[in-house]
Amino acid sequence: MQSIKAFYPQLTVPKKVVITTHQKPDGDAMGSSLALYHFLTDLGHSVTVISPTNWAGFLKWMPGANMVVDFDFSKEVATKLLQESELLFCLDFNILHRTKNMEAVLADLSCTKVLIDHHEQPQEDYFTYGVSNTAKSSTCEMVFDFIVESGFGEKINATIAECLYTGVMTDTGSFRFPSTTANVHRMVARLKDTGFNHTLAHENIYDSFLENRIRFIGYCLLNRMEVLYEYNTAIMSISKNDLLRFYIKTGDTEGLVNQLLTIQGIRLGALVIDRDEERKWSFRSKGDFDVNTFARTHFEGGGHFNAAGGRSSDSLDATVWKFKKVIKQYAEQLQQS
Ligand code: 5GP
Ligand code: MN
């Protein structure tokens, strides 16, 4: 993978471009993809954003989201677009299996591939150019850097700013995680100068759920949470029946794992959801407990130091049992304040 700087001269040559991101895109994945979409379109490229799967309802208001192609839903169209693309941007993921059913199509492409991402351990051999920086708050911050460093900072308008702000906001827990550097705040100041409405971004993302979702959260906190005080850990496991009973859709469980860390003294929060194809884990930690390594070692996953995900093909009960068993190895580490 060559440095992203070596790619900049190609920005002014109009190309057929596809931008893609990880399955079930979150605010950062969608925000960075759409910001780049608006920027590259403005530069004269012919651009399509393809998501491997569907996405949460609370992202649908974002400018351009209605033009995103859902690979799972439109396989033929999306595959053709990918095969005809001259340039592929991969945002907010760095390993092909995070694109689920799209993985095989991506693996076969011979076009130029550009990575912009902030997760650990990129699959470098796949990408032609790229930037991978785990110190960055979000892929949106990196797309901002990409636009500014390539000399097109003046192209950042209110539409691009709205997309970038949304991703930084969601990936930093509304500007509270340690990744929220002075540079993040400087970037936000620059975004604000475009005149976009940041309050609307917060309301659209965080205050747009239906009644069933908040009742579901109450139900899970009451009935599905277990606090393992001896490990400063809280765990929540959600069954298929729970999802059906409350009509839970993509995105409704987003943020739920963070609730576990609101308990005093809890340093590790683990949420597992019984999805159709797998049991999907979300891990969050505070301080120096590395959930990226934990997820990689025990649950076929990865991510960031304090926020990672994983999976299991075992039953819900069996994967919870395994978690409770492996956590014992970390007792000492988790007991340190
Ligand atoms: P979440 O718990 O919100 O699904 O994911 C937390 C973080 O870990 C996100 O940055 C996400 O991209 C990453 N992540 C989630 N699942 C996986 C996985 O299975 N593998 C890897 N490498 N990263 C993951
Ligand atoms: Mn991200």
Closest ligand (CA of 139) = 2
Domain containing 176 — which CATH number? 3.90.1640.10
The number of folded domains in the chain is 2
With a cut of 80, say whether residue 232 has pLDDT above it: yes
Examine the fold and report which residue of 206, 222, 237 is the final residue of a domain before the chain moves on.
Answer: 206
- Give DSSP secondary structure letters for 260-300: HTTSTT--EEEEEEE-SSSEEEEEEE-TT--HHHHHHHHSS
Residue 26 alpha carbon, nearest atom of ligand 1: 3
Q: What residues does 4 pair with on adjacent strands?
A: none
Cβ(251) – ligand 1 distance below 6 Å: no
pLDDT tens, 209-223? 999 999 999 999 999
Q: Give residue 119 CA to ligand 1 midpoint distance, Å.
A: 9
Domain containing 297 — which CATH number? 3.10.310.30
Do 160 and 38 meet the contact criterion of CB atoms below 8 Å apart?
yes
pLDDT tens, 128-143? 999 999 999 999 999 9
Examine the fold and report which residue of 169, 187, 206 is the final residue of a domain before the chain moves on.
Answer: 206
Same domain, 239 and 179: no
Residue 92 alpha carbon, nearest atom of ligand 1: 12
Give me the pLDDT at residue 68, please.
Answer: 98
> Mean pLDDT of all residues in the chain?
97
Cβ(310) – ligand 1 distance below 6 Å: yes
Name the residue at shortest CA distance from atom 18 of ligand 1. Answer: 301
- Determine phi and psi for 230, rounding to 5 degrees: -65, -15
Residue of 24, 119, 121 to mutate, ligand 1, most atoms within 8 A of C-beta? 119
Strand order in the sheet with 46-51: 2-3, 129-132, 112-117, 87-91, 16-20, 46-51, 69-70
Same domain, 314 and 200: no
- Give DSSP secondary structure letters for 194-205: TT--HHHHHHHH
pLDDT tens, 152-166? 999 999 999 999 999
Sorted by sequence, the CB contacts under 8 Å of residue 333 that are 6+ apart come out as 289
Cβ(263) – ligand 1 distance below 6 Å: no
Give me the pLDDT at residue 39, please.
Answer: 99
Q: Give residue 92 CA to ligand 2 midpoint distance, Å.
A: 5
Cβ(311) – ligand 1 distance below 6 Å: yes
With a cut of 60, say whether residue 248 has pLDDT above it: yes
Same domain, 277 and 160: no
With a cut of 90, say whether residue 336 has pLDDT above it: no
Same domain, 198 and 291: no
Cβ(25) – ligand 1 distance below 6 Å: no
Q: Give residue 244 CA to ligand 2 midpoint distance, Å.
A: 28
Name the residue at shortest CA distance from atom 12 of ligand 1. Answer: 303
Q: Give residue 166 CA to ligand 1 midpoint distance, Å.
A: 18
Give me the pLDDT at residue 189, please.
Answer: 98
Long-range contacts of 301-305 (CB under 8 A, 24+ apart): 302/95, 302/119, 302/120, 302/121, 303/119, 303/120, 304/118, 304/119, 304/120, 304/134, 305/120, 305/134
The CA distance from 247 to 244, in Å, is 5
Same domain, 12 and 28: yes
Between the alpha carbon of residue 291 and those of residues 117, 297, 327, the distances in Å are 18, 10, 12
Closest ligand (CA of 98) = 1
Same domain, 158 and 19: yes
Same domain, 10 and 131: yes
Q: Give residue 238 CA to ligand 2 midpoint distance, Å.
A: 24
Closest ligand (CA of 251) = 1
Name the residue at shortest CA distance from atom 20 of ligand 1. Answer: 301
Mean pLDDT of 319-324: 98
Same domain, 191 and 233: no
Same domain, 137 and 122: yes
Buried b (16+ CB within 10 A) or exposed e, 175-195: eebebbeeebeebbeebeeee
pLDDT tens, 12-27? 999 999 999 999 999 9
Mean pLDDT of 228-246: 98
Q: What is the DSSP letter of 66?
A: G
Task: Provide the residue range defining the domain that includes 32.
Answer: 2-206
Closest ligand (CA of 31) = 2
- For the chain, the residue count is 337
Examine the fold and report which residue of 206, 238, 253 is the final residue of a domain before the chain moves on.
Answer: 206
Q: Which residue has tokens 């997309």?
A: 163
Q: What residues does 237 pair with on adjacent strands?
A: 272
Same domain, 221 and 124: no
* H or E element at residue 192: helix 182-192
Same domain, 187 and 221: no
Beta strands in 25-66 (DSSP E): 46-51
pLDDT tens, 50-106? 999 999 999 999 999 999 999 999 999 999 999 999 999 999 999 999 999 999 999
With a cut of 80, say whether residue 112 has pLDDT above it: yes
Residue 24 alpha carbon, nearest atom of ligand 1: 4
231: which 2 tokens? Answer: 């490990």
The CA distance from 123 to 95, in Å, is 5
Between the alpha carbon of residue 145 and those of residues 11, 133, 166, 235, the distances in Å are 14, 12, 16, 37
Give me the pLDDT at residue 337, please.
Answer: 57
Same domain, 202 and 217: no
Do 52 and 102 meet the contact criterion of CB atoms below 8 Å apart?
yes
Cβ(303) – ligand 1 distance below 6 Å: yes
Angle at 301 between CA 295 and CA 302, to 5 degrees: 75
